[in-house]
Chains A and B, each alone.
Chain A
């Protein structure tokens, strides 16, 4: 008869390795999905990402008086090719307005490297977290809503990255 002795240390070690295996398995299966065997998985919309979204915010040079930078990249799912000229809509609760107000919304286009960068007013914590909202909603690819959170309310920039799949 085999006796299994579970000390706290061995239990911790076992659960730790189980956790690591789980994480590893998840990330590996994410990479090995048959439909996109060679590639980059599309970004899923984040929960709450579409909150206070307004359709058709105009492309602007800058939202309000600026002072804060929202930047990121837009790439194609699968091969990861940068997508130029894509319209990304950005909004947040800032020092110049609440999330739902029109002056808090604006859009920008990606450059030839699929990068975008838009100056906007400083984001401040709203509903318990300093966060921004971004949307790809132009229709050529599937709509994606992102809701990145700042590590600290004092930060003056925030990034969000899109990997889009065909609509």
Chain B
């Protein structure tokens, strides 16, 4: 049981610690460093999301897992805002190129697409009740966007040459992909008209 938590802590903290030891930091300003770490933390949060919704974290009931998924989603959106704002302050022309899809760096569009997917999900999650989105409609919107977020984030970070150490970065990315696929298979997200775990709880 506890092993899962230890593995999760290692998967998220080892890449952060390795990046904190990067010699690149010596030549970066504080805002750039903050922006970089916001990105690394965001990647860690992307791993936690499918773990929560798949019910793989011991100690979290379906209801609490879902609540935590909402809060972590909000934290993810915030981390991305810090990431983008910090990079903008560090080098405005490079960030503008990235946001307008005219950047020479191949990883930029993946990050920007994942960013918009994250913002879209966060906004829709906030407005879900007000818009009266049914669970089925919500899943129909959220699941494709979740796939875009996971794939975009993983490709984005793998192509970047920065403070992250290669092996811990690749391991975190592999875990994200693995857990996402497992959660989607376990929850059979492609099936229509299926009451997902916890939905009945939410209605009560």
Contact = CB atoms under 8 A, between A and B. Distances in A.
Contacts, number: 53
Question: Interface majority SS on A: helix, strand, loop or mixed?
Answer: loop
A127 B105 contact: yes
B27 A128 contact: no
A118 interface: no
A127 B93 contact: no
A95 B26 CA distance: 8
Interface string B68-106: 000000000000000000010011011001000011110
A153 B161 contact: yes
B159 interface: yes
B175 interface: no
Nearest to A53: B93
Interface string A44-77: 0011111110000000000000000000000000
A51 B93 contact: yes
Interface residues of B, number: 20
A75 B41 CA distance: 47
A98 B104 contact: no
B109 to A, nearest CB: 12
A99 interface: yes
Given A128-B162, A130-B161, A153-B161, A47 B93 contact: no
A153 B160 CA distance: 12
A52 B161 contact: no
B161 A125 contact: yes
B103 A47 contact: yes
B94 A124 contact: no
Contacts of B102: 47-48
B107 A128 contact: yes
B61 interface: no
Given A93-B27, A95-B27, A98-B29, A128 B105 contact: yes
29 contacts: A46-B104, A48-B93, A48-B97, A48-B102, A48-B105, A50-B93, A51-B91, A51-B93, A51-B97, A52-B91, A52-B93, A94-B27, A95-B26, A98-B91, A99-B91, A100-B91, A124-B24, A124-B27, A125-B24, A125-B161, A125-B162, A127-B87, A127-B91, A128-B107, A128-B161, A128-B162, A129-B105, A130-B161, A153-B161
Closest 10 CB pairs of A and B: A51-B93, A128-B160, A48-B104, A47-B104, A125-B161, A127-B94, A48-B97, A128-B105, A124-B27, A95-B27
